[in-house]
Amino acid sequence: MKLKAKIILLAIVPFLAAIASIETGVRQQATSLAQTQHATTQAAYMASKEIELKHYVELATTAIAPLYEASGQNARDDELLRTRALDVLQKMDFGPDGYFFVYDMHGRTLMHPREPDLVGRDLWSLRDSQGAPTIQQLLAAASHGGGYVRYEWHRPSTGKVTSKLGYVVPLQRWGWMIGTGIYLDDIDTTLAHIDQGAAANIDRTMKWIDTIALTGLAVIALCALVLNVTEYRSADAKLKRLAQQVVESQENERARLSRELHDGISQMMVSAKLLLESALARFERGAVREPAAEAALSTGLTRLADTLREVRRISHALRPSMLDDLGVAAALEQLTREMSDESGIEIGFTQIAHTHAPVLPDAVNTVLFRIAQEALSNIVRHAQASNAALSLEVSTEAVTLTVSDNGRGFDLAHAFAGPRAGIGLRNMRERLEALGGRLSLSSQTGHTIVTARVPLGAHAAQTPALQET
């Protein structure tokens, strides 16, 4: 694994672990708080309802207190007072599901405003769905002076059996149990809404944490991307500098070899040629002629002259001295003339220099000459052209080299990336990019144009404009 990948993993893995730990801890704490809130709310709500029920029963007993206190003098009046008390209690209610009920201590229903068909029935053995004796539990609480009982009963407003909290008290003199209750499904619904709100808050908190985590990962990814791009650009810049240094070293080596061939070997061969010509002249002027020796010397001179021309051609191809002495225009004109003579293709050269055109730097001269050399070589080898043209235009802003021909053209789509793509065009582009220039290509059958444009900096020396040739 690469060091960069290890660094990214060392940044992401602890971050994700920390986020996961935080999310787990927050969820556990939030869940615990929600459960505590549920229990606290339930206890507080039940306590308030118990107080409310007790208050209702106190109101009911207070309402019938005069009747209850007046009883006990004679049986007939006592029965009348009980009937009036039941009428008073039947008329008292607090909502569709809030009412009072009365049973005797043996489980017989004396008054039930919401279920009148139960009046007079013995419900001592009534049991709920869990098997608990409902009326017996209520009577047991009343026999101990009053109390709260949870049981199941039909809710009048819905007709469904739901859990109910009842509060009952005894009326000892009459042998009654009076009570009321509230249905707990309302409390359960309220608590369910509270739990849903707590769960929604927990989910929102988790989403915020996830959003923070994703944002953090995006920041890490962005930093990694910036790091990659920065390193890539740095490596690309270093590679371009290295390539430029290689090209410069190649040009320097070519110039050195060209000078060695021109000033060293070429001069020695010229000296040897002069000596052989002098020897041949003596033979020809001598009194005694040696035809065989003269023929051998003549053949040697011919071959030496051919070798000398080849050495000069190689020297010129490596680095023409005219490029350093007279500039790129003269070197290009000589190049077009020589390649035209060698290939038989008619190649024209045109130079255009604007007013106050600068003197081209050596690096620009070298790049333009090599591009022209490569382009003309491609025309000679591949284009099957009958004529070509080379144009050099120098302005105050840029220098433009254009090479065109009437050959068969080539496929631009595969010029750089195809399996048959050569390195000539790629070398042209890389050489221009090193100077901030741009290579443009246009090719079709019968017309191909290669354009190289290099912007000129303000440091280029100004020189009088050259005339168009």
- pLDDT-derived band at 73, boundaries 50, 70, 90: low
pTM for the predicted model, two decimal places: 0.48
Work out whether the CA dihedral 32, 38, 44, 46 comes out positive or negative.
negative
In the chain, ranges of CATH 3.30.450.20 domains: 64-183
- pLDDT-derived band at 166, boundaries 50, 70, 90: very high
DSSP secondary structure letter of residue 361: P
- pLDDT-derived band at 119, boundaries 50, 70, 90: very high
Q: What integer best gives the mean pLDDT of the chain?
A: 83
**Which residues are within 8 A (CB) of 431 and not within 5 positions of it... i.e. 6 or more apart?**
247, 367, 370, 371
Q: Are 399 and 389 within 8 A, CB to CB?
A: no
pLDDT score of 466: 37
Please give the radius of gyration of the chain, using alpha carbons only, rounded to the nearest integer. 56
Q: Are 138 and 149 within 8 A, CB to CB?
A: yes
Q: Please say if the pLDDT value at position 265 is more than 80.
A: no
pLDDT score of 262: 65
Least confident of 61-70, 98-107, 217-226: 217-226
Pick from 417, 340, 420: which is nearest to 376 by CA? 340
Q: Please say if the pLDDT value at position 105 is more than 60.
A: yes
Pick from 221, 225, 228, 208: which is nearest to 12 by CA? 221
In the chain, ranges of CATH 3.30.565.10 domains: 326-455
**Which residues are within 8 A (CB) of 137 and not within 5 positions of it... i.e. 6 or more apart?**
149, 151
pLDDT score of 141: 94
Assign domain 326-455 to its CATH architecture.
2-Layer Sandwich (3.30)
pLDDT score of 54: 93
Assign domain 64-183 to its CATH architecture.
2-Layer Sandwich (3.30)
- pLDDT-derived band at 458, boundaries 50, 70, 90: very low
Burial 173-188 (b: 16+ CB within 10 A, else e): ebebbbbbbbbbeebe
pLDDT tens digits, one per residue of 22-66 = 888 888 988 888 889 888 888 888 899 899 999 999 999 999 999
